[in-house]
Amino acid sequence: MNEDSRLNEWFVPKFGSLRFRVFVGLLFLPYTGMCVSFALIGSMLSASIMWDRVAAITLIYGLALGISAHAADGLGSKKIKPWGSYFTTKQLWLLLILSLAGAYSVGVYYIVFYVPMLSILAVLEGFFVFAYNFELFKGTFHNDLGFVISWGVLPVLAGYVMQTNQIGTLALAISGVAALVSYLHIRFSRPYKTLKRTGGNESRVKRLESYLKIISLGTISTGLLAVLFRLLI
């Protein structure tokens, strides 16, 4: 793996110490922001909004996806480690366990006292953290479909369930849109990473990077606009 190619990613800051830059890179903030935004959009579909639950679902996905899943990806990648040797196995396991414990602590609180249906989605997302990133069951779930479900569909449903403790028709429809966006993201991301790693066609790399920026930043903007709209009405 060309580690320098990862440090040159557009979402990695050009300032700060090497350890700081690598840690920020590990979070894949624009892509994590996409997933969190799907959860926010799902939340905003509710007729009434409980803002403590909006904060909770944001924290849950920020920890479980932003840190845990990406640490698991570093541990489970069988061929290429996303961040090379910058993190030790022990450090990655520590990040995975602590952040996942934090996410599930918040989730269990709301499951026990307010939204028991969230438990179904919590189990499914927890399953994908390990099955997708560690390529369990002979890699059955490490594919585009597994990514689309865990990254796009479930976050929208989780956001809606967190507010309503039910799954509605509108939430299902919007989760389908999130699935399509997630599919486009992964279809552009795979060749992009390969070309970045191998030093392939530079013009194609820039074109794919532009697509990824549009998809991720567009999704984040949509999520923020949805929140702003609900705050103003």
Could you say which DSSP state residue 166 is in? S
Q: Is the backbone of residue 199 left (phi > 0), alpha (psi -120 to 50) or beta?
A: left
Tell me the pLDDT of the chain averaged across its residues. Answer: 92
Closest CA to 158 of 172, 144, 145, 146: 172
pLDDT in tens, 32-73: 999 999 999 999 999 999 999 999 999 999 999 999 999 998
**What band does 82 get if pLDDT is binned at 50, 70 and 90?**
low
Lowest mean pLDDT: which of 4-18, 182-196, 213-227? 4-18
The residues, ordered by sequence, that sit 6+ positions from 54 with a Cβ below 8 Å of its Cβ are 40, 43, 159, 162, 163, 227
pLDDT score, position 1:
44
Percent of the chain's residues with pLDDT above 70:
94
Q: Do the Cβ atoms of 40 and 156 come closer than 8 Å?
A: no
pLDDT of 5 > 70? The answer is no
C-alpha R_g of the chain: 17
Q: What is the pTM of this model?
A: 0.94
State pLDDT tens for residues 184-202. 999 999 999 888 888 778 8
pLDDT at 79 over 70: no
